[in-house]
Amino acid sequence: MRRTLTFFSLLLALLLPGGATAGIWQPVAQLNLWNAGECTRTGDNNFSVPDTASNAAIYQPGVPMRYGDTVGAWRYGLISTVTDVGATLTVVFFGAAMSTSFDGICEYGSGTLVHTDTYWVPGAFADANDSTILLSDLDLIVPASKRTTLYLMMLCARSILDDTGADQPKLYAVINGQQASLYVTVIDSGWQCASSQARESYYDLRFGETFEIYVSADGTNDDSTDLTVQLVWVQEE
């Protein structure tokens, strides 16, 4: 059982003879990582729920979701927008598609299951096609960091300076040698993001597998510089 120690109970413990701590620990309620939800599929990346106060508090941007027809055979998503359309809320999410084979059960998760990674690649990053830019430009090997599966929800990228020509470079995430996200065109005027939807067969990063970023030299002059990539993951458990 987890317990919490308050400032005043700690002070009392220090004042008691011998630093006794009996009776100063208080139990903390356990939080569920995943909780039963409700959702009616309206598309591969959206669903609806009744517009109630409790649902409005639960289904918010940044909340992880998992869904499927069988408990344990889940797909994972991350809520991006919620729109009140009257009697229902329309929920749009990044991540795996909620196909008709994965829409029977849905659960919402704790925010502790959401993780972000940020990588910055200085200088020219798209002067040639590069399938291992983290290794070749940063001398960085990125293994799965946890003994649990992480699911890629989205990849966002931005450069400091555009290619001086008309066309700009593109990139995508690679997990264990397979394309795990859709393409992103990298520009300097704002973040460009892509989901892992349609790449569900490859969006899971398991312990011991590798992660990389593939950059294609699609820029006209191959002189785009200073790349930042942000990734958002949902942890299985």
81-132, pLDDT tens digit by residue?
A: 999 999 999 999 999 999 999 999 999 999 999 999 999 999 999 999 999 8
Give residue 21's pLDDT: 44
Q: What distance in Å separates the CA atoms of residue 179 and residue 173, rounded to the nearest whole number?
A: 6
* Residues contacting 80, CB < 8 A, separation 6+: 61, 92, 93, 94
What distance in Å separates the CA atoms of residue 193 and residue 154, rounded to the nearest whole number?
7
pLDDT in tens, 42-96: 999 999 999 999 999 999 999 999 999 999 899 999 999 999 999 999 999 999 9
Q: In the CATH scheme, what is the code of domain 114-235?
A: 2.60.120
The residues spanned by each domain of the chain are 1-30, 34-109, 114-235
10 Å Cβ neighbour count for 200? 17
Question: Could you tell me the pTM of the whole model?
Answer: 0.82
Q: What is the pLDDT of residues 189-222, one digit of tens each?
A: 999 999 999 899 999 999 888 899 999 999 999 9
CA-CA distance, 175 to 221, in Å (whole number)?
29
Torsion 196-197-199-201 (CA) sign:
positive
User: Between 2.60.120, 1.10.760, 2.40.30, 1.25.40, what CATH number should domain 34-109 receive?
Assistant: 2.40.30
- Greater pLDDT, 100 or 8: 100
β-sheet bridge partners, residue 49: 89
